[in-house]
């Protein structure tokens, strides 16, 4: 058996995105030899050139990993040969509302080709409970001719990375670990003990898989709660933000969540549906909390548009032909990720209503927004020329004083601004 808790392990990380790249960098830092494998050749090209596309990884960190010769970005499957630990960090999207595990399947079949006795495979992608044991294990066995537990280790460890969070990074965030048997758990835990400060073992991969879905469903449901409350509070003429601030002074039994234009990214709009799908498939029940939260959160971009129409109406203007400046396209502040971003939906709805939509976002490069949206900088002239400025993502890079000072009307979905012309969600 390969001893995985020593350094110098040959680690293969499949998927070099928001999850895989930070793991690869951290592993290099602690002394492992790492292959950063990705099927997207353009990503490998950028990594090889020392250009990071993930904010939390500076190009300096990437450059020093490359210089150490212990990091090899590659899209060549044969680079996986001889791996001791293989970690799968590939996407798990929804296709027509159902889990799409094709990326995990493709990564598992790739690893199976190079699986050796004693090696360890760990799934990190977020997925429904049962995926590791019922899908990944059998695929690895079939592709390698080896037996899980007897010949190789297998486990699941959810990723908790929070892009853009300056306080909690991979190394200091406790990591839940699991294995299909005691030896697998020891191997998985041994590996992550070299990566993070604290590992948290659970009995089987199913508990670890559920842990991740519980965490994200908890956030999803609580965000939906404050979003729905925000809509009612506005109609009742009550300041929801003040109530949230006051409730947040309670030292126990309350956790602060704030309203916004909707949820986005790779996690909240998707992960809870993996859980409700599994519950429906296995038990025949609907997971009502998830469905309700989806309903409320999915509705928020439309609600934002409704408030904008109302604001223009008060100025005796129509949405058709109005100039709307969106501040922020990313789903989350200080990140460049606009996947599933509510801003994309808001922009689409505004275009459908005939608005002239412009958008400023200093982070987003690989945009998913409609091509008719004109990308601009949030200059004083742009701010002043807009009929409505909508703050959707409160990136620290925005000059909020300038926004409040130059815009004639701002709809602020994050409560970052105050002033005469500012209205909050």
Question: What is the set of active-site residues?
Answer: 267
131 touches ligand NAD by CB under 6 A: no
Radius of gyration of the chain (CA): 23
Is-contact 202 211, C-beta < 8 A? yes
143 touches ligand NAD by CB under 6 A: no
Nearer to ligand NAD, 123 or 407 (CB): 123
129 touches ligand NAD by CB under 6 A: no
| CA 126 – CA 124 distance, rounded (Å) | 6
Put the strands of the sheet holding 410-412 in their side by side order: 374-375, 356-360, 323-327, 388-391, 410-412, 422-424
Instruction: Name the segment binding ligand NAD (CB under 6 A); options: 85-93, 249-257, 279-287, 399-407.
Output: 85-93
Nearer to ligand NAD, 51 or 399 (CB): 51
| CA 293 – CA 217 distance, rounded (Å) | 9
* Nearest residue to 25 (alpha-carbon basis) of 195, 200, 266, 161: 195
| Interface with ligand NAD (CB under 6 A), residue from 33, 38, 84, 209 | 38
Q: In the complex, what is the shortest distance from the CB of residue 37 to ligand NAD, in angstroms, rounded to a whole number?
A: 5
Element (H, E) at 73: strand 71-74
Q: In the complex, what is the shortest distance from the CB of residue 377 to ligand NAD, in angstroms, rounded to a whole number?
A: 26
* Residue 94-113 contact track with ligand NAD, rule CB under 6 A, x = bound: ---------x--xx------
Instruction: Restricting to residues 211-230, name those near ligand NAD by CB under 6 A.
Output: none
| CA 352 – CA 350 distance, rounded (Å) | 5
Instruction: Name the segment binding ligand NAD (CB under 6 A); options: 39-47, 292-300, 319-327, 389-397.
Output: 39-47
| CA 314 – CA 308 distance, rounded (Å) | 10
Instruction: Restricting to residues 145-184, name those near ligand NAD by CB under 6 A.
Output: 159, 161, 163
| Interface with ligand NAD (CB under 6 A), residue from 153, 266, 307, 358 | 266
**Where do the DSSP E strands lie in 225-355?**
323-327
| Interface with ligand NAD (CB under 6 A), residue from 1, 3, 30, 40 | 40
State residue 200 phi and psi, 5-degree precision: -125, 100
123 touches ligand NAD by CB under 6 A: no
| Interface with ligand NAD (CB under 6 A), residue from 52, 92, 194, 217 | 92
| CA 102 – CA 110 distance, rounded (Å) | 12
List interacting residues with ligand NAD (CB under 6 A): 14-20, 37-40, 43, 89-92, 103, 106-107, 125-126, 159, 161, 163, 266-267
């Amino acid at each position: 058996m390969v001893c995985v808790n020593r350094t110098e392990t040959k680690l293969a990380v499949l998927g070099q995105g928001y999850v895989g790249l930070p793991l690869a960098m951290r592993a290099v830092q602690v002394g492992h030899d790492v292959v950063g494998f990705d099927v997207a050749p353009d990503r490998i090209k950028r990594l090889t050139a020392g250009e990071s596309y993930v904010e939390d990884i500076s190009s300096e960190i990437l450059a020093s990993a490359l210089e150490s010769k212990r990091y090899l970005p590659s899209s060549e499957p044969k680079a996986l040969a001889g791996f001791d630990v293989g970690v799968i960090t590939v996407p798990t999207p929804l296709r027509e509302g159902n889990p799409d595990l094709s990326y995990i399947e493709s990564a598992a079949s790739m690893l199976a080709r190079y699986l050796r006795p004693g090696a360890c495979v760990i799934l990190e992608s977020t997925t429904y409970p049962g995926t590791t044991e019922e899908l990944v294990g059998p695929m690895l066995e079939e592709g390698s001719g080896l037996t899980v537990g007897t010949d190789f280790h297998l486990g699941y460890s959810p990723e908790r990375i929070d892009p853009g969070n300056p306080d909690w990074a991979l190394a200091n965030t406790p990591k839940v670990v699991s294995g299909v048997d005691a030896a697998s758990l020891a191997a998985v835990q041994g590996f992550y003990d070299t990566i993070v400060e604290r590992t948290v073992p659970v009995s089987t991969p199913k508990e670890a898989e559920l842990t991740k879905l519980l965490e994200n469903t908890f956030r999803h449901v609580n965000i939906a709660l404050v979003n729905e409350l925000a809509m009612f509070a506005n109609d009742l003429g009550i300041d929801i933000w003040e109530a949230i601030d006051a409730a947040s002074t309670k030292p126990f039994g309350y956790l602060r969540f704030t309203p916004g234009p909707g949820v986005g990214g790779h996690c909240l709009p998707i992960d809870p549906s993996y859980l409700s799908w599994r519950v429906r498939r296995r038990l025949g029940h609907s997971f009502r909390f998830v469905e309700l939260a989806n309903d409320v959160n999915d509705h928020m971009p439309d609600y934002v548009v409704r408030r904008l129409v109302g604001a223009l109406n008060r100025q005796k203007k129509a949405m058709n032909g109005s100039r709307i400046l969106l501040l922020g396209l990313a789903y989350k502040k200080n990140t460049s990720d606009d996947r599933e971003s509510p801003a994309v939906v808001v922009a689409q709805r505004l275009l459908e209503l005939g608005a002239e939509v412009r958008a400023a976002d200093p982070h987003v490069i690989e945009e998913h927004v409609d091509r008719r949206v004109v990308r601009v900088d949030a200059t004083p002239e742009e701010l002043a020329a807009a009929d409505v400025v909508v703050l959707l993502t409160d990136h620290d890079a925005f000059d909020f004083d300038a926004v409040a000072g130059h815009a004639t009307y701002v709809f602020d979905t994050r409560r970052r601004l105050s002033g005469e012309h500012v209205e909050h969600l």
